[in-house]
Amino acid sequence: MTMEPKDSVVHVHSLCKAYQLGETEVEVLKDVNLNVARGNFITICGPSGSGKTTLLNIISGIDRPTSGKIIVLGQDLTVQDEDFLAEFRCDNVGFVFQSYNLVSTLTVAENVAFPMEWSRKPEAEIEKRVAELLETVGLQHRANHFPAQLSGGEQQRVAFARALANDPQLILADEPTGNLDTKNGQKITQMLRMLKADGKTIIVATHDPEIMQLADQALCLEDGRLASKNE
Partner 1 sequence: MSKAAFPVNDLLRRKIQTSLTIITLTLSVASTLFLLLFSRRIGFGITSVGGTLTHGLSIVFSQFVLFVGILIFAVGAVITSFIVFLMMKQRTRDFGLIKAAGCPNGLVFGYFITELLTVTFLGCVLGVVLGVVADFAVTNIFHFQAYQKTPDLWLAPLVFAAFFALALIFGVKPMLDASRLSPIKALSPVQYFGLSTGPKLKPLSRFGLTLKMASRSLFRRQSASIRIIILLSIVFVLLTVSISGGMIANDTTQSWIENATGKDTILIAHSSMGTQYKLLLSKFVGATENGDFDYRHESLAIPNAILQQLNSTPEIATVDARLILKEHVQEVSNFTIDPETLVTIPVGDSREGDSLIVGVDPDKVTATWSLQGRFLNTEDSLEAVIGDSISQTMFSQPLYQSIRLQNQTFSIVGVCVDPINNGKVTYVPIEKLQNLTNTSNPNIVLVKLDLSADRSATLAQIKDKITSVNSDLTVFELDEVLQENLGFLGSAWSTVMLLPLFTLMSAALCLIGYAMLAVDEQRQEFAILRATGVKPNAIITILAIQSIIVLLSSFAVGISLGVITTLLILVPNPVVTTVTILEVAALLFTALAGMFLLSLYPAARFAKTPILKIIT
Q: Which residues are near partner 1 by CB under 8 A?
A: 57, 60, 62-63, 82-83, 86-91, 95, 97, 99, 101-107, 109-110, 113-121, 123, 126-127, 130, 143-146, 148-149, 162
Q: Which amino acid is at 87?
A: E
* Minimum distance from residue 103 beta carbon to partner 1 (Å): 5
Using the minimum distance from each CB to partner 1, give the nearer residue, 115 or 224. Answer: 115
The C-alpha atoms of residue 188 and residue 182 are separated, in whole angstroms, by 10
Contact 198, 167 (CB under 8 A): no
Closest by CA to 52, choosing from 168, 182, 172, 171, is 172
Which ranges in the chain belong to alpha helices (H)? 52-60, 82-92, 108-118, 123-136, 152-164, 182-197, 209-212
Residues 48 and 68: their CA atoms lie apart, in Å, by: 23
Measured CA to CA, the distance from residue 157 to residue 184 in angstroms comes to 9
Please list, in sequence order, all residues whose beta carbon lies within 8 angstroms of the beta carbon of residue 86, skipping any fewer than 6 positions away.
Answer: none
Query: Which residue, 41 or 97, is less far from partner 1 as judged by CB?
Result: 97
As measured in angstroms, the least distance from the Cβ of 153 to partner 1 is 16
Min CB(172)–partner 1 separation in Å: 11
Nearest CB to partner 1, comparing residues 45 and 130: 130
Closer to partner 1 at the Cβ: 14 or 140? 140
Closer to partner 1 at the Cβ: 86 or 212? 86
CB 198 within 8 A of CB 190: no
